[in-house]
Each structure stands twice: as C-alpha cells, then as structure tokens.
Structure 1
Amino acid sequence: MLSVVLPVYNEENQIEKTVAEVKNTIKQLGEEYEIIIIDDGSTDNSWEVLKNLADKNAEISAYRFSRNFGKEAALMAGLSHAKGDACITMDADLQHPPELIPEMVSYWKEGFEVVEAVKKDRGKETSFSRFSASLFYKIMYRLSGFNLENASDFKLLDRKVVDEIVRMPERETFFRGLAAWVGYKRKEVYFSVPERETGKSRWSKIKLFRLAITAFTSFSSLPLQFVTFMGILFLIGSVILGIQTLVMKLKGWAIGGFTTVILLLLIIGSCLMISLGMIGIYIARIYNEVKSRPRYIISEKCGKDK
C-alpha cells in the first residue's frame, strides 16, 4: 500500500484539485493507497473542505493542528500516521507534479529505498530567492557534508526509512536533512517547478530564515568551532600587535593611536557579540529539546482513522 502525505496551510481553493490529481495518478498504478492530509492550523476554510473530502473518500484521513506548528511538524505528523509500505510526501499546491509518482514508485519497486524529486529549475522565483537558496545549500553542504542543492520535500520513502525518521526524538526537525542523514539506497528524479495555480507561497523570509537556522544547528556544530577559531586568530593578532607596540615604545617611535584602539575595540566587540549569539542559538535548541514538548497537537480528526 502507498501512503501520500499532504501538509496543508490555507489551501481551500487548491486542495480538492490536488487530491483529485493524486488519486487519478495512483489509480493508474493499480495500488492500494491512502491519503493523509495535515491541516497546519489554517485560518481559511481549508478544514471544512478537508472534512467534506474525507466524508466522500474512504481513503482520505485528515488531521487538524490546534494551531500553526509549521510544515516540518506537519510532515512528521503525516509520516507518524502513514501505514503504507512506502510513503510519498509532497506539497498541496501542485508545485510537486503528481505525474512524477509512477516513476518514483517504479524505482522503489526496483529496490531504491529513498526516491528524491530534485528541481531542474526553481520556476519563477526572484533573483534574490535563487541567490538565497543557493547560498543556503552551499553553507549547508560545507557544514554538514550533505548536498541538498535544489532538493525538495517531494520524496518517496520506504517503510523502514519512515520508521527510522519517526522514531527520532528531536522536536525541531529539518525534513530534507533527516531524509539525507538516514542514508539508504537512493535515487533522484528531476522535475521543473510549475507555477502556482492559486494563491502565493506561505513561506515568508522570516520563516525561511528560521528554517535555515534550524537546518544549520541540527546537522553541524561547526559554527561553535568557528567561535574558537576567531578567538585563536585574535589571540595571535594581539600577540603580534603587543610585540610591535613594545618594540616601538622601547625605540621611542610610539605615536598616538586612538583611532586604532577604537577600531580594535569595535572589531573585537562585534566578534564577541556574534560568538555569544551563535552559542545562544545552540543553547536555545538544547532548552527546547529538554522541555520535551510535543512537536504538534492534533485538535480534530476526520476520515477512516477518526
């Protein structure tokens, strides 16, 4: 059986069409399937639409979060409720084309345990968005060793992969990174990102920045080592500067250096603040994990698992 996980946030005008296309695609494969839809605290009429879909389609289960917990939490909730031998995660806005599913399933049947859909292009994104994404993936590769360039949340995961991801206890997750970290036999398929038919992306720049911080701190402690490197660098610089100052003083060449002192104080102060900020981010993550609050809270259910 195949499970399809669809995170939804304010997609009342799109979700019915997405579900219809996913159903038609999977029916052509002749496979048993279920569709799990997670409403991530939508503020529009999405939940009413989902309840109607679940009432009319026995293969659909819908879960509603008590508030907006974020897409990463919605993906983890969907994986936790999936019962299929393989699970497909995809967006509900049809920017992940359902027609790619048969190819992904065929590779899975050949023995690949993770089939990843990789973007051939980024659609009509702005130049700034393309640059930001490219910079993020380059930094992520340097920090973690995982090449996620043009990766997406459109994936097929074998049952054993799903089980491993779900049992990870961390509260703040980065799904693409986790899917790469677990390993297993992998295959890539490629797609061009179509334009959204309705609405616009719900990812604000602030949300993307927070996700980037979560990704960096989840898979690498290198930024903390960078703090140590800066300290060593400034120690060496201060020793050299101290020797130079002493020599000039003994030879009577010393001159007023008020501007230099101010600049050094500003540079060192800035580095200290950046270092404390990096340490603070990691401490905040530890604090959030220690509290052990649930990743999400489900307030309502509808469908076959009600």
Structure 2
Amino acid sequence: MLSVIIPAYNEEQMIPKTVSVIDGILCEAHIDHELLFVNDGSKDSTWEKIEEAASTSRSVKGVSFSRNFGKESAIFAGLSKASGDCCVVIDCDLQHPPEKIVEMYRLWEQGFEIIEGVKSSRGKESGLHKFAAKSFYEIMSNAVGFDMSRASDFKLLDRKAINVLLNMNEKNAFFRALSSWIGFKSTEVEYDVREREVGTSKWSTRSLIKYAVTNITSFTSAPMQLVTLLGVIVFIVGLATSIEAIVRFFQGTAQPGFTTVIILQCFTGSFIMFGLGVIGFYISKIYEEVKGRPKFIIDKTV
C-alpha cells in the first residue's frame, strides 16, 4: 500500500480539492493507498475539512497537532503514522504535480527505494528569493556532499528508508537533506512547480529565514568555521598594521593618535561578537537536543 503524507497549515480551501485530485489519480492507476493529512496547528477550519473528507472517503486519515510545530515535524509525524509499504510526501497546495506520484510508484515497483522529486523549474520567484535559495542550497550541498539545488520534499520513500529516518533521534531534523543522506537505491523524477490555485503561501520572509538557519545549523557545522576564518582575517590585518607601525616608528614618521588602535578594536570587537553569536546559536541547539522534547504532540486523529 502507498501512503500519501500531506502536511497542511491553514489549507481549508484546498483540502477537498486535494482529496479529490490525488484520490482520483491513484484510483485510476489502481494503486492501493491512504491519504494521511497532518494538520500542523492550523488556525482556520483545516481540521474540520479533514474530518469531513474522512467521513466520506475511506482512504482519508488525519492527524492534528496540539499547536504549530512546523513542516518538518508534520512530515515526521506522517511517516510515523503511515501504514504503507512506501510513502510519498506532497504539499497540500498541489504545487507538486500529483500525477507524478504514479510515476514514482512504478519506479518503486522496479526496485528503487528513494525516488526524489527534483525541480526542472522553480516557478515564479523574485530575484531576491532565487538568490537566497541558491545560497542556501549551495551551503547544504557542500554539507551533504551532493547537489541539492533542485531538491524538494516531494519524494517517495520505501519502508526501509522510512524506518531509518524514524530511528534518528534528532529534534531539528531536515527531512529534505536527511532523506537523501541516508543513501539506498535512488533515482529522480523531474517536475515543474505549479502555481497555487487558491490562497497564498504560508511562508513569510521571516519564517523562511528561520527555516534556512535552523536547517543549516542542524545539518552542518560550517557556520562555526566562519569564526576561525574571521580570526585569521583579524590576525592578518593586525599583523600588517603592526608591521606598518613598527616601520614608521623606526623611520621616525609615526603619527600621534589612536586611529589605528580604534580601527583594530572595532574590527576585532565586531568579529568576536559575531563569532560568539554563531557559537551561541549552536549551543542553543545542543540545549534543545539535550532536553529531549518530542518533535510534535498529537492532539487527535481521525
């Protein structure tokens, strides 16, 4: 059986359409399936719409969080509650083309254990958003060791891969990277990102920045190396300035004043504070992991 995991946050307008489209495609392809919606603490009537869908369709199941825990937690909750031999993760807004699920499933039947949905295009995005996304994926690609520039959460996982992910105890788990990092026999399916039919994106600039920072720090220690790099830069600048000061002293051309000292103090102070900030962020992540709180709390199911 195929489990389709669908995280949903304030998607009351899309629930009926999503059920109808995905259920119709999979029934037509004669694929035994379940649609597992994960309500991520929505503030609208998303949960009520899921309950209505479950009352009219035997394939629909639902899990509701006690509050908003984020998309990563919703995905892992879906994986933990899924009954299928394989699972597909897809967005509720149908920007991921549902007909590609059939193609992924057929590849799984051929023996592939992870089928990655990769973007052939990113749809309509602003120049700033494209630059930020490119920078983020370059960092993640260097951390993971393979290209993630076209990666997405839209993918199919075999039960073997799902069990490996569920056995990881990380609280700040980055599904998009971890599902690729674990290995197994993999292949790709290309797709074009579609425009949202109704409603607006739930990702604000602030939430995207937070999402990027959290996932970068949860998967790689590269930002901590910036502290070392800044230390080297300060050392080189300080060494050059010191040599210049010594030469001027012996030449008798040294000027009175503390301009050089002030500049060095400003540079050194700012780099130290920046470095402490980066280290402090990692310490906060260690603190969260040590507390051992759950990734999510389920309030009710249907």
Distance 1:62 1:220 in 2: 33
Distance 2:192 2:236 in 1: 50
Distance 1:243 1:259 in 2: 16
Say which is worse superposed, 20-29 or 226-235, in terms of deviation.
Answer: 226-235
> Any idea what SS the aligned residue of 1:30 has?
coil
Counterpart residue number, 2:182: 182
Distance 1:214 1:256 in 2: 48
Say which is worse superposed, 156-165 or 30-39, in terms of deviation.
Answer: 30-39
Q: Matches of residues 205-224 of structure 1 in structure 2 within 5 Å? A: 205-224=205-224
Q: Which has the higher contact order (CA 8 A, sep 6+)?
A: 1
Q: Give the conservation status (yes or no) of the 8 Å contact 2:144–2:181.
A: no
Aligned residue-pair number: 302
Deviation (angstroms), 1:242: 2.3
Deviation (angstroms), 1:26: 1.1
Q: Matches of residues 16-31 of structure 1 in structure 2 within 5 Å? A: 16-31=16-31
Q: Read off the aligned partner of 1:120 and give its amino acid letter.
A: S
Deviation (angstroms), 1:28: 2.2
> Any idea what SS the aligned residue of 1:241 has?
helix
Q: Deviations over 1:33-78 (max 9, x none)?
A: 1111100011111111111111222222101111111111100100
Distance 2:100 2:9 in 1: 23
Deviation (angstroms), 1:257: 5.0
Counterpart residue number, 1:15: 15
Counterpart residue number, 1:301: 301
Q: Give the conservation status (yes or no) of the 8 Å contact 1:173–1:214.
A: no
CA RMSD after TM alignment:
1.4
**Same amino acid, percent of matched pairs:** 46
Q: Give the conservation status (yes or no) of the 8 Å contact 2:172–2:215.
A: no
Q: Deviations over 1:179-208 (max 9, x none)?
A: 111111111111111111110110111111
Distance 2:239 2:8 in 1: 57
Distance 1:124 1:223 in 2: 30
Q: Read off the aligned partner of 1:207 and give its amino acid letter.
A: S
Counterpart residue number, 1:250: 250
Query: How has the CA–CA distance of structure 1 residues 253 and 144 changed in structure 2, closer, same or farther, with 3 Å as cutoff?
Result: farther
Q: Deviations over 1:9-33 (max 9, x none)?
A: 1111111111111111111222221
Q: Deviations over 1:153-174 (max 9, x none)?
A: 1100011011111111011121
TM-score with structure 1 length normalisation?
0.94
Deviation (angstroms), 1:260: 3.0
Distance 1:143 1:270 in 2: 27
Counterpart residue number, 1:193: 193
Q: Give the conservation status (yes or no) of the 8 Å contact 1:174–1:211.
A: no
Distance 2:222 2:96 in 1: 33
> Any idea what SS the aligned residue of 2:99 has?
helix
Q: Read off the aligned partner of 2:118 and give its amino acid letter.
A: V
TM-score with structure 2 length normalisation?
0.96
Say which is worse superposed, 242-251 or 34-43, in terms of deviation.
Answer: 242-251
Counterpart residue number, 1:148: 148
Counterpart residue number, 1:163: 163
Unpaired runs of at least 5, structure 2 = none
